[in-house]
Structure 1
Amino acid sequence: MLTKTINILLLFVLATLACAQNRDSVTGCIAGNVTMEFKPALLSGKEVRYYVWNKVRGVNKDPSFAKFEPRFSPQLEIYFNEEHQVQNRIFHIPEKPATLYLTDLRKSDQENYTLIISYFDYIGVPTEYIIDLQVQDVCFEKPKAVGKCAVSTCYTGENGVLKVLKTPSSTVQAVKGYKQVKVCDDKTSGSYSCCNTAGTCLVQVFQESM
């Protein structure tokens, strides 16, 4: 009985490890861009027939939204766009067949994405890889040094009257999705607040010499 229990626990641990190896998480800023790089362990010696991406959408709904068949077309096929809302926002490079680039992130993009791979001349369980995409409502990019300037971007999502950028001089600037911040002298150095419609703000300190 003890041996059987140990074997069951071992199988559970191995299954958990296998799941962890086939799953990743990615975080992006609302109105920004994100790269979803799926890294499935491909079957050795087998040619990929097609890649299919699924997104959780509820019961009795086809989760598939994109398909790539490398042998038949260099283009990514996107469908069910009315519900997935990814048309013109997803980019795909054939040289990196398992990677998707999603632009103009929306809160509705936050979900589990699954890549399913089918092979030629193979009957068995398809290869899968899952990415959990998290979309932050408001965020500041990490400042980058450009010459003597500190440059960043405030992301707040879609247009709205209450989405603002507050500067050290107490001025308030409207943010339409995103707004670049560029600090190049002491007069504009200090704390900037990036705020969304819910009043959530992130504070970033900018200095002339980053």
Structure 2
Amino acid sequence: MSGLSHEPPHHTSVEQLVSLAEQALADHDCESAINLYNKALHTDNKNSHAILGIAGAYEHKAQQTNEEAFFKLAFSNYDRAMYMKLYIPESIDGLIRVGTRLTMYDEVIAIIKRELKITPNHELLSGALKKIQTISLLSIPENRSNTASKPKLINRLLFDFVMPFAGIVMFLMGVMLPQYGPRLKITQFSFAFFVAGLVLFLAYIFSKIHKAPEIKKRKNW
């Protein structure tokens, strides 16, 4: 803190308010910076410097306090900057940075795609889309650790092959035992095999249906 007062004089212009806010932020006085940026936006709600400034001030405040609410306010204002067509590294990087902190990958992707519909083939936006998609992909737990790849492969083999195969075999045994079981004297187990096989197979099907959206999401990348 510099000890300087960041209170604006009367009849201060938007430019002066923004300048005072920038000085307050440089002095790590986030509260004063946010108040000054808000005053500037109250006068001119489309002022690009004030929009980006308050987004940065909220992000700085969030880093100081580690409060999610301030990160969300920062994200909202970076989104506002994008809506205002401020396609510059400061706004794009801020959106990705805060969105990643909040794990709001889908929201960031949607915002960038929204802007690309309006401004197709924009170099910075296209690069940002690839960047956030990569970050989102790497954030999936299955892709985070190579050390766990062998257990996961075994689990996948068990789930995708052993489980449905066992379910089908037990189901067929439950169906066929009443016909061939008397010779082996094991007909009493036919219903148990039938139910167990059916449960295993249905559990496999429902699990696949549950994972379908995530698989589709990965294919879209």
TM-score if structure 2 supplies the norm length? Answer: 0.24
**Larger strand proportion, structure 1 or 2?**
1
**Larger helix proportion, structure 1 or 2?**
2
Quick one: higher RCO (CA 8 Å, sep 6+), 1 or 2?
1
**Higher Cα radius of gyration:** 2
